[in-house]
Structure 1
């Protein structure tokens, strides 16, 4: 009995060993085909997901799908349907027909790998209506340039440019990796955006003469302290009593009159009022560029109103918006440029503050002795601009809602009148139907007797 049990145990061990080896072989074969099977399952799920959106024909021989597609892609869709019929061996030819719909078509903006990042930024703020102007092409330049105005450093811009160039050069290999890292995917999808931001940052960095917070002295400074030393306005005693030496451009020769060929003079990197000068310069340039961009965006809306023939929006929306923007912010840009051009080194100490002027403009305060006027008749001009801006606010916010409300009430009244007339016609038909039936019966009797 012991020998028989041992024999059975050996047979069971042999069966278990063979089963394990067979299972291992099956798992290895399945592992080799696992990726292709997963792809096939995903494709089948995608196909069935699309088929579930279709309707079955009455004859149950074909499927009906209602889709939106660009008109330019009609030929490609027909060709794809024909190829699908040939590959599936179907005997029923696909039919592509246009269907009229009262629903507004969805907005479709065709993009590529370069413009997709900019389109995503625009869509994050809102998607335009069907056939409206798409601002994304203009954003390709304005967005990275306005970023560079704030991030003007050619050193950091070079780092951004090199990182973007690496991603662009290896985009095929990086796309094949398909990582789930959200931060990396965000940077990689915006690689062309980062590329342009790096280029513009290098450009504005050279304008600011700033590379890792250091200035370049390539062409030589246009400032010199030698004339101050020669005419006796600068001496060692002056340096001992006042260690902050001020270069006075009013003294002939201190400033050569020829500005630095490109960007900010490197002498400003040594000045104690460096931040005061550069921050004022950058702030005013940012104000000018921002107002120009806002005005350009409002002008783009005019083309939408003209295309859709919305005269009401032109008269009650576009015109007051432009009046409000130009009378206030456009005038601010004018004052900045006027002050740059009018006040030279001999008049700089008497230059008024634009900020105080802008505040006094809204308060109608023109008796401030500490802030001289910029030009003649400034009071009349600023008062006119403020009044026009105040008029444009109710013009823009009140008139159009009342007109739309009146049109809505008018359409409701017309709809109610149509319903009343239809009800009266139905009642009249019901009342006259017995009379018509009796007349018809009398006519039949007369014909039979005749």
Structure 2
């Protein structure tokens, strides 16, 4: 219980490792995971440390493994499970791993480059095949379409005839109007005729372009060439594979007809700008058919070579997939070891490495065994030395956990890590947190659903753990599966106490109320008043609430009073428990002044007011039955009158509950008021007296030892003060003003906090009421609609209504309301409970552990 109630006792140790044994000793400590090393070279740059070259080699190996893993996942090759986690490899194995990874990377690069070149050639041949097939259609269709002015010409007319006819048309235009385009006016009639004789046919270019670029490509051709080119295009139906990215792309074949070298140059530049690929295309049909045959033959050969290349690449990746997990773990362990060795100091005279580390005292023997094992594996004849050091530094906080307690410890650490050897709230949170949650979430039906979900995660945790890492939200729920399981179980318990199951109740033991006799004629009235003096059996319902309250009109009034008083009882009880835990902290650290000036007045102040209120609540429940209900006192008014010192004679509800109430309440009030100056003044006074006594003792010690009879100074004032004060500090460190201000804040926080924290626990009542009302509204407004249907139509209606009700139950009541109750329970523990004894200003123990390093790396990768 000691290790569970408080953090482990820690010790600062100095470690001497021989150079040849340092690597394996650190590896053994990494497997053990119980040593936190300190960086002894905080001012040394990371690139100037001793093992920086080894770390860089590990980085390079990690890079190669990431590339290899990416290629394996790209081909959807399953990665084999590694089985047992391999140990950290020996230093000489690092060279073997580097050689293996280098060989794999080079082989994979060569295969990929060959495959990319083959795919590029295959793509070009495929595009050329489509061009050759589409070209004949273009040539067959071009004659009646070019130029547009001569659409009536027969298709058998040659390009020479077309061109000559176009020239004659332009000559006629010059002769009749004296106008024409710029080129026509410059050339004149003779130039056109000469050109017509020289240019016997049209030129053309054929190629392939991405389909989405085709509209812009066509517009650019038209604008730059002034409409003097003719473009035909056709889509390639099947997508083509990009040899670089591997993505499927859609392309189109085009052919451009033009006239003259100037237009040809422009067209080529436009094709280059739009990244269109141009291919040679024969002019005659026979040459095109011959080229198609050759292209198809080459494509068949490429398919065979590509298949062989792909199979070889697949074999390489399959072989690598069997070992890649082990390789990754080995490289990460090597890198972690060298990063840790970089934190050590090098003693050149002794040829050893010196380290400092925090270790749990109870595990010192296990650490010694690990060091001996590492030294034996290295073959060193000089043993490693571990010495405990005296230090005034505050050690880290180390709380041992397992998979059950880890979730609760994380809740506490999220607020703040406990100070060294401070009481750990996690063991108490295991019970109090799910119970307070269940008080607000008290519904046995919803609690059962929550329990089943958590039970599924607990029973299937090994299979779910792998999938949970890829989803951060689900991983959060999975990490708190045991917490959710207890929350569900406690919700079932409180739901049975409230007798609330999906806003309905169960009558398991028979109601303690008897209905009025049946009237002589007709049925019972729609509502009736039950008299507790005549129609109550006298013995309460055996367990929980009587089911009759579910159908009563004053259910909310009754439950409100019950849950509100229950909240105050639970809240004051938990706060008193927190103050008692603070007493154990003070006693453990031998701080008697805090016991006298903090614990005693705090517990008296809280019990004088709210402890007394709890007694009144229990007394009222016991003493006042239905016969005395008319004179039952209002506890809130009683408490207010206690502070105002008012004791009216009438009415009877304000009369004293017991003999001597006024005197007893006056004493309690005076005691509570006296606690305020007690907390405010006594502690600063005693601290001032202690500081004066220390100063006087240090001065006397200095006067008696400073002169040794021979005129030599033996002990300085500083050392004398340290010896007398026991390391508590010099008188210059004592600031009375700061202490007084701190004590004023602490007193105000204690007094006002006792009131505000007690009121804060009323959220238990408010959240419970809200959950019950939401559940009832959901039943009456949704599910009740499905229950009113009849026959087949009613069955279909009930099917859809039940689905809607189930979805709303899970989304609103389980998730939203559950999260709300969770956050309120968290606040009650962090603020109202832990503030009574918990500082939370420590720092967590972070040992060098391969398990932690590997799990952290896996989370970052996922």
TM-score clears 0.5? yes
Q: Quickly say closer, same or farther: Cα 1:184–1:402, change in 2 above 3 A.
A: farther
1:110 corresponds to which residue?
400
Q: What secondary structure is seen at the aligned counterpart in 2 of 1:393? A: helix
By how many angstroms is 1:80 displaced? Answer: 1.6
Is 1:160–2:441 an aligned residue pair?
Answer: no
In 1, the alpha carbon distance for the partners of 2:707 and 2:394 equals 35
Q: What secondary structure is seen at the aligned counterpart in 1 of 2:386? A: coil
By how many angstroms is 1:321 displaced? Answer: 0.9
Once the two structures are superposed, residues 189-208 of structure 1 have per-residue CA deviations (whole angstroms, 9 ceiling, x without a partner) of 22111111111111111111
Is 1:261–2:542 an aligned residue pair?
Answer: yes
Is 1:319–2:609 an aligned residue pair?
Answer: no
Is 1:71–2:361 an aligned residue pair?
Answer: yes
Partner residue of 1:407 out of 671, 674, 690: 690
Higher mean alpha-carbon deviation, 202-211 vs 287-296, is at: 287-296
Q: Quickly say closer, same or farther: Cα 1:88–1:429, change in 2 above 3 A.
A: closer
Partner residue of 1:36 out of 309, 314, 326: 326
Is 1:249–2:532 an aligned residue pair?
Answer: yes
1:183 corresponds to which residue?
473
Higher mean alpha-carbon deviation, 58-67 vs 112-121, is at: 58-67
In 2, the alpha carbon distance for the partners of 1:17 and 1:216 equals 73
Partner residue of 1:390 out of 662, 667, 673: 673
In 2, the alpha carbon distance for the partners of 1:136 and 1:17 equals 62
By how many angstroms is 1:308 displaced? Answer: 2.7
State which structure, 1 or 2, has the greater radius of gyration over its C-alpha atoms. Answer: 2
5 Å-filtered alignment, 1:172-211, equals 172-177=462-467, 179-211=469-501
In 1, the alpha carbon distance for the partners of 2:396 and 2:465 equals 29
Higher RCO (C-alpha under 8 Å, 6+ residues apart): 2
2:746 corresponds to which residue?
none
Higher mean alpha-carbon deviation, 57-66 vs 330-339, is at: 57-66
In 1, the alpha carbon distance for the partners of 2:381 and 2:466 equals 38
By how many angstroms is 1:344 displaced? Answer: 1.0
Partner residue of 2:370 out of 80, 90, 96: 80
In 2, the alpha carbon distance for the partners of 1:361 and 1:368 equals 14
Partner residue of 1:328 out of 609, 614, 622: 609
Do 2:443 and 2:502's aligned partners in 1 also have CA atoms closer than 8 Å?
yes
Higher mean alpha-carbon deviation, 128-137 vs 371-380, is at: 128-137
Q: Quickly say closer, same or farther: Cα 1:120–1:305, change in 2 above 3 A.
A: same
Q: What secondary structure is seen at the aligned counterpart in 2 of 1:64? A: strand
Do 2:569 and 2:614's aligned partners in 1 also have CA atoms closer than 8 Å?
yes
Partner residue of 1:303 out of 584, 603, 606: 584
1:127 corresponds to which residue?
417
Q: What secondary structure is seen at the aligned counterpart in 2 of 1:152? A: coil
In 2, the alpha carbon distance for the partners of 1:255 and 1:228 equals 17
1:288 corresponds to which residue?
569
By how many angstroms is 1:154 displaced? Answer: 0.7
In 2, the alpha carbon distance for the partners of 1:369 and 1:335 equals 20
By how many angstroms is 1:54 displaced? Answer: 2.2
In 2, the alpha carbon distance for the partners of 1:413 and 1:65 equals 41
Higher mean alpha-carbon deviation, 172-181 vs 273-282, is at: 172-181
In 2, the alpha carbon distance for the partners of 1:31 and 1:238 equals 78
Which consecutive unaligned segments of at least 5 residues does structure 2 have?
1-297, 714-862
Once the two structures are superposed, residues 243-297 of structure 1 have per-residue CA deviations (whole angstroms, 9 ceiling, x without a partner) of 64221112x2x11112111110100000111111112212211211221121122
Once the two structures are superposed, residues 291-320 of structure 1 have per-residue CA deviations (whole angstroms, 9 ceiling, x without a partner) of 112112212222232333222112111110
In 2, the alpha carbon distance for the partners of 1:160 and 1:88 equals 53
Cα RMSD over matched residues? 3.4
2:389 corresponds to which residue?
99
When normalised by structure 2's length, the TM-score is 0.44
Q: What secondary structure is seen at the aligned counterpart in 1 of 2:380? A: coil
Q: What secondary structure is seen at the aligned counterpart in 2 of 1:98? A: strand
In 1, the alpha carbon distance for the partners of 2:712 and 2:464 equals 75
Which consecutive unaligned segments of at least 5 residues does structure 1 have?
1-9, 431-450
By how many angstroms is 1:326 displaced? Answer: 0.7
Do 2:422 and 2:585's aligned partners in 1 also have CA atoms closer than 8 Å?
yes
Q: Quickly say closer, same or farther: Cα 1:134–1:270, change in 2 above 3 A.
A: same
Partner residue of 1:46 out of 302, 316, 336: 336
Do 2:549 and 2:555's aligned partners in 1 also have CA atoms closer than 8 Å?
yes
2:642 corresponds to which residue?
361
Q: What secondary structure is seen at the aligned counterpart in 1 of 2:388? A: coil
Is 1:350–2:631 an aligned residue pair?
Answer: yes
By how many angstroms is 1:409 displaced? Answer: 5.6
When normalised by structure 1's length, the TM-score is 0.80
Q: What secondary structure is seen at the aligned counterpart in 2 of 1:314? A: helix
Q: Quickly say closer, same or farther: Cα 1:237–1:95, change in 2 above 3 A.
A: closer
2:663 corresponds to which residue?
380
By how many angstroms is 1:31 displaced? Answer: 5.7
In 2, the alpha carbon distance for the partners of 1:228 and 1:396 equals 66
1:149 corresponds to which residue?
439
Q: Quickly say closer, same or farther: Cα 1:67–1:159, change in 2 above 3 A.
A: same
Q: What secondary structure is seen at the aligned counterpart in 1 of 2:384? A: coil
Q: Quickly say closer, same or farther: Cα 1:267–1:17, change in 2 above 3 A.
A: closer
**Number of equivalences:** 409
In 2, the alpha carbon distance for the partners of 1:247 and 1:317 equals 52
In 1, the alpha carbon distance for the partners of 2:388 and 2:330 equals 33
Q: What secondary structure is seen at the aligned counterpart in 1 of 2:558? A: helix
More strand by share: 2
1:338 corresponds to which residue?
619
Do 2:648 and 2:655's aligned partners in 1 also have CA atoms closer than 8 Å?
no
Q: What secondary structure is seen at the aligned counterpart in 2 of 1:66? A: strand
By how many angstroms is 1:398 displaced? Answer: 2.7
Q: Quickly say closer, same or farther: Cα 1:236–1:382, change in 2 above 3 A.
A: farther
